[in-house]
Amino acid sequence: MTNTTKSSASPSRKPEATADPAAHTVLVTNQGVPIGDNQNSLKAGLRGPVLLEDFILREKITHFDHERIPERIVHARGSAAHGYFEAYKALPDLTRAAPFREAGKITPVFARFSTVAGERGSADTARDVRGFAVKFYTDEGNWDLVGNNIPVFFIQDAMKFPDLIHAVKPEPHHGMPQAASAHDTFWDFASLSPETTHTLMWVMSDRGIPRSLRMMQGFGVHTFRLVNALGKSHFVKFHWKPLLGTHALVWDEAVVLAGADSDFHRRDLWEAIEAGEFPEWELGLQVFTEAQAEAFSFDVLDATKLIPEELVPVTPVGRMVLNRNPDNFFAETEQVAFCAAHVIPGIDFSNDPLLAGRIHSYIDTQISRLGGVNFHELPINAPKVPIHNNQRDGLHRMAVPTGRVAYEPNSLGGGCPFQAGAAGFASFPQAVQDDKVRGKPEKFSDHYSQATLFWDSQTPLEQAHIAAGFRFELSKLTVPAIQERMVASLVNVSRDLAGTVAQGLGMKLPAALARALPRAPKPEVAHSPALSLTALPGDGGIRTRKVAILVADGVLGTSVATVVQALKAADAVPCIIAKRLGEVATSDDTALQATGTYENSSPALFDALVLADGETGVAAMSQTQAVQDFIHSHHNHGKTLLVLGLAEVLLEQAGIRMFLPGGAPDPGVILSAPHSVAQETANFIHAMGKHRHTERLLALL
């Protein structure tokens, strides 16, 4: 008899709708014993001591005491969703990997997005790298593509990973700061490790504070291999590009959101999927040969380097759609175990030394976090394919192997399970003939060329935000020597950047830090537009965008109703905000219901602002400081404002200019007369599609 275990049903398939599962069910213990009283413990008399024999109480409390599992050391704060990957076409020349076997092939997936530095209860909007991990439940086992929203990483070798994380985590003597890198230990490490410079540029840019998890790219970071059925190999880099485009928060907006809604990104992802607005990413491949790799001015095995798209274009090969929220956060989002070692036939590793450490580290940490080697049997981690092997026992074993055979080769089990031979996974036979050494190739020592490429590829506004990011972080340091070292390192990236940062820190521009590689190879590309967030603007729609509509008793309800109807038709989310919840007394008896108040609705939670018309209502709003706060917040963050009729006086009261320097009208401030509300609302919706008005943001610098 074959030693066989079967995995749980596909975790990506939602059960059919049924009646409330709690209806007509009896409360029982974990042993199935019916519980007659779940309100009172067993006592010796009504006022007597609680009895030790109360096994119902002890089971309930004991289980509660052990509900929490150790959080991830990094990427502890995460949000996730189920979905599917659809291949555009078969890729037989490149890979035998199951997801790419045929056009239109559907592979279930589970994707998790996360911050890196913060603990499980930290805020979503901290400046940080974001994890972007996708588990493919393929026909030949699970493939985990575990990457980030930034294509490069801080370090080149896994040997330094514990040091990096120890440096960025809260300082050990007082446990501060939480989910932040603006402190001495991180920048001490960074200033003494120039290889971090390229990734620091990305993190200090707008990439470090995405507007939404649905609006950020994903990257596999490392160089991997694709291997076809004939054993031929190509190198590959993986790219995820969001359909909604890449958009970011403004820094002080991110800070406000951390307090106004620390679950901002998690809520945004959840509510979009619940509303049927399924986020979508296109998977693209940068495929290149080893000969091409040898000719590059950088080393493709160096995780601090990327391949500019001008050298190797990104070829779209499929799309991922996330269409179902988890049924239980703990069972799925918290217990999902991604491992860089989880590959399938057709996907293989390169000799990237950081990747080599991850191949070991992820499995090791999951064993510790999930209580043993059987974490693969948890439903969210279980493959779709049946499991046949001779592994036995261990903590939390859930499968029940059958038969007497637990070894191979055997005759008592008919020789089963047997080796797959050529149909199984086989590592690419790369020739290795070298001495054992500790060190790195010479090209690894060029720490600045690609950091300069990134800087030179940003728009003026993005460059201003990068400089502001460095100024904020370094201004929090208490050791001047660390500040000076870091600015000296930035001189090698851009004297303009370093000078702006130094000026903000009140220090003289230091001499450039000595380079590890004084004569770096000349880079092939000096400017790469794809490195700017503006390269992926999205489709211009405003689906799921939240719009605050400020009202007060006495506003003109018909114009507000017109705006609400148009926004809903564009799949935006209009929110009527007033002094109190409930019915608004309009001047024309139009029914309006306030769903938010000035007290519970921070301006930072909304993507655009509408100011209602009506003499009495406008007069009331002019006496409300919160209205001024909304106007200033939306204007200063480059968002779109629609001002109906008499509400123009509120802009004047706030000191808001409706023209840009030079006299051009601000395209993000739209005024509407009562007779033109429908047309101006259409203009408002079009202007919202830009997400932010960079002309205004540049003028406000």
Instruction: Render 175-194 in DSSP notation, one character per residue.
Output: TB-TT---SHHHHHHHHT-G
- Helix axis angle, 460-475 to 197-204, nearest 10°: 110
Which residue, 311, 346, 377, sits at the end of a domain? 377
CA distances from 403 to 179, 275, 361 (A): 51, 48, 34
Residues 629 and 676 grouped into a single domain: yes
Give me the catalytic one of 3, 142, 148, 492: 148
Same domain, 43 and 157: no
Type of residue at 83: G
Residue 23: predicted pLDDT? 57
- The number of beta carbons lying within 10 Å of the beta carbon of residue 209 is 23
Whether 538 is covered by a domain: the verdict is: no
- Say whether pLDDT at 447 is over 60: yes
Write down the pLDDT at residue 629. Answer: 97
Q: Which residue has the tokens 């009504």?
A: 46
Strands 669-672 and 315-324: what pairing? unpaired
Q: Which residue has the tokens 């490195």?
A: 531
Q: Within a domain: residue 196?
A: no
Same domain, 552 and 652: yes
Find which of 32-36, 43-47, 547-551 is predicted with most confidence, using mean pLDDT: 547-551
Report residue 31 CA to chain centroid gap: 40
CATH number for 372: 2.40.180.10
Residues 6+ apart with CB under 8 A from 96: 227, 228, 229, 345, 346
- CA 420 to each of CA 252, 388, 416, 542: distance values in angstroms, whole numbers, following the listed order: 57, 11, 11, 51
In-domain check, residue 167: no
Residues 35 and 156 in one domain: no
Mean pLDDT on 262-267: 98
Q: Please identify, among 377, 400, 435, the residue that sits at the C-terminal boundary of a domain.
A: 377
Mean pLDDT of 275-286: 97
Residues 339-362 have a mean pLDDT of: 95
Q: Is 216:207 a contact under the CB 8 Å cutoff?
A: yes
In a domain? residue 89 = yes
Q: What's the rounded Cα separation, in Å, for the pair 245 and 390? A: 47
Specify whether 550 is located in the same domain as 653.
Answer: yes
> Using only C-alpha atoms, what is the Rg of the chain?
29
CA distance 347 to 236: 10
Mean pLDDT of 201-228: 98
Is pLDDT at 128 greater than 90 in this prediction?
Answer: yes
Q: Are residues 60 and 115 in the same domain?
A: no
Tell me the mean pLDDT in the region 46-51: 93
Number of compact structural domains in the chain? 3
Instruction: Specify the long-range contacts of residues 494-500, CB closer than 8 Å, at least 24 apart.
Output: 494/452, 494/455, 494/456, 497/455, 497/463, 497/466, 497/467, 497/470, 500/467, 500/471
In the annotation, is 148 catalytic? yes
Going by pLDDT thresholds of 50, 70 and 90, the confidence category of residue 22 is low
Q: Is pLDDT above 90 for 579?
A: yes
Same domain, 37 and 149: no
Please check the confidence at residue 678 and state whether its pLDDT lies above 90: yes
146 and 41 in a single domain? The answer is: no
Q: What is the CATH number of the domain that holds 685?
A: 3.40.50.880
H helix or E strand, kind and range, residue 549? strand 546-550
Label the pairing between strands 669-672 and 640-644.
parallel
The residue-averaged pLDDT of 355-365 equals 92
Please compute the mean of the pLDDT values over residues 44-63 and round it to a whole number: 93
431 — pLDDT class (breaks 50, 70, 90) = confident
Q: In this structure, which amino acid lies at residue 646? A: L
Q: What is the mean pLDDT of the chain?
A: 94
Q: Is the pLDDT score of 498 beyond 70?
A: yes
- Which one-letter DSSP state was computed for residue 282? E
Per the annotation, where are the binding residues for heme? Answer: 72, 112, 161, 358, 362, 369
Token pair for residue 559? 């114009």
Q: Name the β-bridge partners of 387.
A: 5
> What pLDDT band is residue 10 in, cutting at 50, 70 and 90?
very low
692 within a domain of the structure (yes/no): yes
**54 and 82 assigned to the same domain:** no
Nearest Cα neighbor of 467 from 487, 446, 482, 484 is 487
Same domain, 274 and 300: yes
Q: Above 50 in pLDDT, residue 17?
A: no
Q: How is residue 289 annotated by DSSP?
A: -
Percent of the chain that is helix, strand, coil (3-state, to 5): 35, 15, 50
Same domain membership, residue 694 and residue 612 = yes
Report pTM: 0.93
Average pLDDT of 581-587?
97
pLDDT at 11 over 50: no
Of 377, 410, 442, which residue sits at a domain end?
Answer: 377
Omega cis (within 30) before 177: yes
Look at residue 665 and tell me whether its pLDDT is greater than 80: yes
Residue 690 lies in a domain: yes
For residues 117 and 148, membership in a common domain is answered with yes
Q: Is 75 a catalytic residue?
A: yes
Beta strands in 2-124 (DSSP E): 78-87, 106-115
Residues 302-323: what's their mean pLDDT?
98
Is residue 192 one of the residues assigned to a domain?
no
Confidence of residue 20 (pLDDT cuts 50, 70, 90): low
Which residue out of 3, 75, 381, 635 is catalytically annotated? 75
- Which residues span the domain enclosing 593? 546-700
Q: What Å distances lie between residue 348 and 79, 87, 336, CA to CA?
A: 28, 19, 22
**119: closest CA among 81, 68, 65?**
68
> What's residue 430's pLDDT?
86
Annotated binding site: 72, 112, 161, 358, 362, 369
DSSP run (H or E) holding 270:
helix 264-274
Q: What is the mean pLDDT of residues 219-247?
A: 97
Give the pLDDT score at 14: 42
Among residues of the chain, what percentage have pLDDT more than 90?
Answer: 86
Buried b (16+ CB within 10 A) or exposed e, 28-43: eeeeeeeeeeeeeeee
The reply to whether 235 falls in a domain is: yes
Can you tell me the mean pLDDT for 307-333?
A: 98
| Structure-model confidence comparison of residues 432 and 574, the more confident one | 574
Residue 3: its pLDDT value, please?
A: 43
Residue 528 contacts residue 592 (beta carbons within 8 Å): no
In the predicted structure, residue 18 carries a pLDDT above the cut 90:
no
Burial 614-624 (b: 16+ CB within 10 A, else e): bebbbebbbeb
pLDDT at position 16 is 44
Determine the length of the chain: 701
pLDDT value of residue 178: 96
- Per-residue pLDDT at 140: 96
